[in-house]
Amino acid sequence: MRIILLGPPGSGKGTQAQRLVQRYGIVQLSTGEMLRAAVAAGTPVGLRAKDIMASGGLVPDEVVVGVIAERIEQPDAKKGFILDGFPRTVPQAEALDALLKQKHMKLDAVIELRVNESALLQRVETRVAEMLARGEEVRVDDTPEVLTKRLATYRSLTEPLIHYYSERRKLLTVDGMMTIEQVTREIARILAAIGAVDGAPAKRAPGRRGGKGTPQKAVRRGTRSSTAGKASAKKAAKAARKAGKRPAKVAKKVVRKAGRKAARKAAKKVTKRRANA
Ligand code: AMP
């Protein structure tokens, strides 16, 4: 699975990327982290990036593209990756397209975390307070002044990517104002629905249900109503993958059928019980 997390600073990309890493066992590729490491190590890339990062600007495209191109080559990225903070400009997105094409890799989805700008400053302040409490060094660009600049940079240079990926039918938007747990669950649901992961159902939110006919409801209905349905859905998804079809779609059908079967069985039981009463 290869996905991009897109969103302004403080939208939760890093937090969600870490949770997805744990859930799916793929790596998080954060250009911000890589650049901070380069600055700390004093490498040529770090020396070029240091002042730009401190002021809230963007490091030149060719520098970050070079960093990502190298990183994607590493063995741990073969299984898939979550790009966090890259691409940040249209030329970076074009370079990524070319890179993936050259390596015969496919991008599954771009997940946009949509948030209210007014909440971002508060979030970053919370992040700073938490880092200080843990005794960690605070980022030099996590100040209200630099954050304002980073937001302006996002609006002018990164936001056009929403249009770029929506045109290419890759964009999926998630409400980033929900709780961390809810956002993770929603991303997992989306990934299962598009078949980026093995149709694995997201853990159910207490009291939350999907809309009529949504993949979310179909998957959940299957897990609740029948274990047999779940097993055959898994089998069907496997067969679909072999046949080059979309496993989530096929699994959904099977789960629906199994759900109907279970409902008929339950109704029969009730009739029998009533007749005996
Ligand atoms: P982040 O940790 O993603 O908030 O990134 C911190 C800083 O690193 C940004 O404000 C930029 O200066 C720089 N940076 C990270 N990723 C990129 C990128 N894809 N393109 C240009 N600059 C970047």
Q: What is the DSSP string of 135-168?
A: TPPPPTT-SHHHHHHHHHHIIIIITHHHHHHHHT
Does residue 230 surpass a pLDDT of 80? no
0.85 cut: is pTM over it?
Answer: no
CA distance linking residue 125 with residue 115, whole number of Å: 16
pLDDT of residue 205: 36
In order of their start, the domains of the chain are 2-197 (3.40.50.300), 207-277 (no CATH)
Q: Count each helix (H run) and each strand (E run) in the chain, helices first.
A: 12, 5
99-109: per-residue pLDDT in tens? 999 999 999 99
Choosing from 123, 127, 217, 249, the catalytic residue is 127
CA 90, 80, 83, 59: dihedral to nearest 10 degrees?
-70
Choosing from 2, 19, 36, 150, the catalytic residue is 150
Is the distance from the beta carbon of residue 88 to the nearest atom of ligand 1 less than 6 Å? yes
Q: Does 13 participate in catalysis according to the annotation?
A: yes
Cα 87 to chain centroid distance, Å, stands at 14
pLDDT of residue 212: 31
Structure tokens at 71: 């990183």
What percent of the chain has pLDDT above 70? 71
Cβ–Cβ < 8 Å for 54, 140: yes
Is the distance from the beta carbon of residue 8 to the nearest atom of ligand 1 less than 6 Å? no
pLDDT of residue 68: 97
Is the distance from the beta carbon of residue 107 to the nearest atom of ligand 1 less than 6 Å? no
Choosing from 50, 88, 230, 234, the catalytic residue is 88
pLDDT of residue 270: 45
**In 58-179, which ranges are continuous DSSP H helix?**
61-72, 90-102, 117-133, 144-153, 160-167
Q: Does 127 participate in catalysis according to the annotation?
A: yes
Choosing from 13, 36, 71, 221, the catalytic residue is 13
Sign of dihedral through CA atoms 148, 186, 22, 250? negative
Structure tokens at 16: 């969600």
Does residue 214 surpass a pLDDT of 90? no
Average pLDDT on 152-165 reads 97
Sequence-distant (6+) residues with CB within 8 A of 180 are 12, 15, 16, 19
Name the band, by pLDDT with cuts 50, 70 and 90, for residue 22.
very high
Is the distance from the beta carbon of residue 150 to the nearest atom of ligand 1 less than 6 Å? yes
Average pLDDT on 118-146 reads 87
Average pLDDT on 12-29 reads 95
Cβ–Cβ < 8 Å for 82, 27: yes
Q: Does 246 participate in catalysis according to the annotation?
A: no
CA distance linking residue 95 with residue 73, whole number of Å: 15
Is the distance from the beta carbon of residue 59 to the nearest atom of ligand 1 less than 6 Å? yes
Sheet with 109-114: strands ordered across = 27-30, 81-84, 2-6, 109-114, 171-175
Please state whether beta strands 27-30 and 81-84 pair in parallel, antiparallel, or not at all (unpaired).
parallel
What percent of the chain has pLDDT above 90? 59
Average pLDDT on 147-166 reads 96
**In 168-246, which ranges are continuous DSSP H helix?**
180-193, 215-225, 227-242
Q: Does 272 participate in catalysis according to the annotation?
A: no
Tell the residue nearest (CA) to atom 14 of ligand 1. 32
